[in-house]
Amino acid sequence: MYTLENVTKTYRQKERTIHALKDVSLSIPTGQLVAIQGPTGGGKSTLLQMLGALDRPTSGRIALGEADLSGMPDTKLGRIRATEIGFVFQGFNLIPTLTAQENVETAIEPLGVAADERRRRATEALASVGLGDRAHHVPSELSGGQQQRVAIARALVKEPDVLLADEPTGNLDEQTRDEIMDLLEGLHRDRGLTLVIVTHDSAVARRAERRLHLTHGTVTERA
């Protein structure tokens, strides 16, 4: 699925050069559930941006399947993000004036999907996360856990091969955290999704098949 070869990412900050990633080489097989942990500023978000085709490395190579993301034009990267990769964020990022159904539909509207097909796929996606009866509620009428389920449905409606989750349980209480992780694990298992989760929560990380730790831009494996 993913192959990273000697990936380095640097940023200029006034007189300083910030090394967000340092010579990272790893592979993530198709269908694996991976957790990424590490301190703030260790490079977790930068690595997720690379995996999500949101940024390119300063040097090195990153590939998703046969697609080399490192030198791909922006238009092709945008297409990959729109069709092959689903994103889930800590802050849900829902549009407050839209219903759950409409929020989910926004993910595939730019793809030129007909309105009837958008509604059908959004309805199915909401049902798959247990929110079939909340389709016409706006975010303010939903709990935090329900809002995150809408966000997951929005990611799933694209029918992606990869799901990238950045602190998906960070705003949730312990019980709701476990419910969301049960949902994500079930989707990973039933759909064969490659699932990569960035988390500070060791209880979340322990549920992954594989744990990576990022410190000062360097990746190590954790048992």
* Per-residue pLDDT reduced to its tens digit, 143-182: 999 999 999 999 999 999 999 999 999 889 999 999 999 9
Counted domains in the chain: 1
pLDDT category of residue 124 using cuts at 50, 70 and 90: very high
Range of the domain at 115: 2-222
pLDDT reported for residue 223: 65
pLDDT category of residue 132 using cuts at 50, 70 and 90: very high
pLDDT reported for residue 11: 86
Contact of 55 with 9, CB cutoff 8 Å: yes
- DSSP assignment of 17-84 equals EEEEEEEEEEEE-TT-EEEEE--TTSSHHHHHHHHTTSS--SEEEEEETTEE-SS--HHHHHHHHHHT
Helix (H, G, I), strand (E, B) or coil at 179: helix
Sign of CA dihedral 198, 202, 208, 214: positive
- We report the CATH number of the domain holding residue 96 as 3.40.50.300
Indicate whether 15 pLDDT > 90. Answer: no
pLDDT reported for residue 16: 84
pLDDT reported for residue 25: 95
Supply the Cα-derived Rg of the chain in whole angstroms. Answer: 17
